[in-house]
């Protein structure tokens, strides 16, 4: 029995997204494992020990938001991707490489946020990882909009290309967080949290064509 190429491409798209969801789930779960469980001999000591873990709480919340928004954006894009090719699979793997790495700078920041000097370096490393994410996501989006052959028929490819600037804003903003880290690690971490909230509430949807309109070239 002959295999329908469109159906095979659709299955491949679902497999890539399912694999990606697994990586996102593992990365976001690993974040909480970096929070140390304090021990104490009295209620007062335990409350104090719990309070001393505030850098871990802050780093956890920020990174949870960051990965969560990454997953939402990834899911939104893949809901319009009907087929994948070899290049797109590797670009997606490159994106997941950065996602899977985020628990490391999160732990680095949590461990060093109260240390002068070391906190700045840790926050700069965190920012550098976010720069890498901005680069990989932009490359991913640039490729899928370059020809549009991976999208399904709902997408207005020409309009999707026009959103590249929106998706590329991170290439400008996240390097600034690296610079800010050397002035204030706490402010740099807070900015990452604010950026995650911004992207959560100000996402640009994948442009779609009006029913019956001609497919853009």
In the chain, the percentage of residues whose pLDDT exceeds 70 is 88
Structurally, how many domains does the chain consist of?
Answer: 1
Task: Report if residue 207 sits inside a domain.
Answer: no
Residue 217 confidence (pLDDT): 46
Task: Report if residue 213 sits inside a domain.
Answer: no
pLDDT tens readout for residues 43-75? 888 888 788 788 888 899 999 999 999 999 899
Residue 204 confidence (pLDDT): 59
The Cα–Cα gap between 91 and 133 comes to 12
- DSSP line for 116-151: TTHHHHHHHHHHHHHHHHHHHHHHHHHHHHHS-TTB
pLDDT tens readout for residues 144-165? 888 888 888 888 778 777 777 7
Largest CA distance in the chain: 72
User: Given the structure tokens 């700045």, which residue do they identify?
Assistant: 120
- DSSP line for 189-203: HHHHHHHHHHHHHSP
Task: Report if residue 85 sits inside a domain.
Answer: yes
pLDDT tens readout for residues 15-27? 999 999 999 999 9
Please tell me the pTM assigned to this model. 0.84
Task: Report if residue 211 sits inside a domain.
Answer: no
DSSP, collapsed to helix, strand or coil, labels residue 181 as helix
Q: Which domain holds residue 131?
A: 5-201
Is 80 exceeded by the pLDDT of residue 143?
yes
Task: Report if residue 32 sits inside a domain.
Answer: yes
Task: Report if residue 106 sits inside a domain.
Answer: yes
In the chain, the percentage of residues whose pLDDT exceeds 90 is 46
Task: Report if residue 23 sits inside a domain.
Answer: yes
DSSP bridge partners of 208: 155
Is 90 exceeded by the pLDDT of residue 124?
yes
Integer CA distances (angstroms), 169 to 91, 164, 180, 207, in order = 19, 9, 17, 18
Task: Report if residue 216 sits inside a domain.
Answer: no
């Amino acid at each position: 029995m002959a295999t329908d190429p469109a159906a095979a491409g659709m299955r491949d798209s679902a497999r890539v997204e399912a694999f990606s969801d697994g990586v996102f789930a593992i990365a976001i779960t690993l974040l909480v494992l970096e929070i140390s469980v304090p021990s104490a001999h009295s209620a007062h000591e335990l409350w104090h020990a719990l309070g001393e873990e505030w850098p871990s709480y802050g780093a956890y919340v920020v990174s949870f938001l960051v990965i969560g928004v990454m997953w939402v954006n990834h899911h939104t894009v893949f809901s319009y991707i009907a087929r994948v090719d070899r290049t797109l699979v590797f670009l997606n793997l490159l994106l997941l490489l950065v996602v899977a790495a985020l628990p490391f700078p999160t732990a680095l920041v949590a461990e060093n946020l109260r240390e002068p000097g070391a906190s700045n370096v840790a926050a700069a490393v965190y920012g550098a990882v976010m720069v890498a994410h901005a680069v990989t996501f932009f490359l991913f989006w640039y490729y899928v909009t370059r020809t549009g052959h991976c999208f399904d028929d709902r997408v207005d490819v020409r309009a999707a290309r026009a959103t590249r600037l929106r998706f590329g804003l991170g290439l400008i903003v996240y390097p600034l967080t690296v610079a800010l880290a050397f002035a204030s690690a706490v402010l740099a971490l807070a900015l990452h949290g604010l950026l995650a909230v911004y992207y959560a509430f100000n996402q640009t949807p994948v442009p779609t064509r009006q029913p019956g309109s001609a497919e853009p070239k």
